């Protein structure tokens, strides 16, 4: 459905592919690469990691898009990394009162500190929050 005017359009740009690499299923990396705000705990702790670090970054971006703030933050990089690894994910009622439980569940699945329990991208694509958005988009365009 075309936008009525330019102010109705939304442009989303995702950048910073400087450290991008292709990983085969089952392959892992150990290099501590990435922007601190988006780093998963396993990168910070210099443990082996796989493609689920991307799921973490998706969760951080979704959290920021829905609240305007990152899930973990500190001005000092070392303290930020500490918060990412140690702090519990919080959904403050004032920030989340207008955000669906499905969206919160999506973010919880992305920001699980246990990499092995964290959702994979295929899980996220099939998450009910995403499916509802797809259904709404399809119905809006009919």
- Whichever domain contains 93, its CATH number is 1.10.510.10
pLDDT given for residue 28 in this prediction: 82
Q: Is residue 31 in some structural domain?
A: no
pLDDT given for residue 140 in this prediction: 65
pLDDT given for residue 33 in this prediction: 79
- Is the distance from CB of 105 to CB of 113 less than 8 angstroms? no
Backbone phi and psi for residue 29, each to the nearest 5 degrees, phi listed first: -120, 165
Output the pTM of the full model: 0.81
Q: Is residue 20 in some structural domain?
A: no
Q: Is residue 100 in some structural domain?
A: yes
Into how many domains does the chain fold?
1
pLDDT given for residue 42 in this prediction: 96
Average confidence (pLDDT) over 89-93: 94
pLDDT given for residue 134 in this prediction: 75
Q: Treating both helix axes as pointing N-terminal to C-terminal, what angle do 101-110 and 128-140 enclose, rounded to 10 degrees?
A: 130
Q: Is residue 92 in some structural domain?
A: yes
Q: Is residue 12 in some structural domain?
A: no
Q: Is residue 2 in some structural domain?
A: no
* Enclosing domain of residue 91: 37-140
pLDDT at position 9 over 60? no
Q: Is residue 8 in some structural domain?
A: no
- Is the distance from CB of 57 to CB of 124 less than 8 angstroms? no
């Amino acid at each position: 459905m075309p936008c009525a005017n330019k102010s109705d359009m939304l442009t989303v740009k995702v950048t910073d592919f400087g450290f991008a690499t292709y990983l085969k299923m089952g392959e892992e990396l150990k290099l501590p690469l990435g922007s601190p705000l988006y780093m998963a705990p396993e990168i910070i702790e210099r443990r082996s990691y796989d493609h689920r670090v991307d799921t973490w970054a998706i969760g951080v971006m979704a959290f920021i898009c829905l609240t305007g703030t990152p899930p973990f933050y500190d001005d000092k990089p070392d303290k930020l990394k500490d918060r990412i690894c140690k702090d519990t994910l919080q959904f403050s009622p004032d920030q989340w009162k207008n955000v669906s439980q499905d969206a919160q569940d999506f973010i919880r699945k992305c920001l699980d500190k246990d990499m092995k329990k964290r959702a994979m991208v295929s899980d996220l694509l099939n998450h009910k929050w995403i499916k509802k958005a797809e259904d709404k988009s399809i119905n809006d365009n009919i």
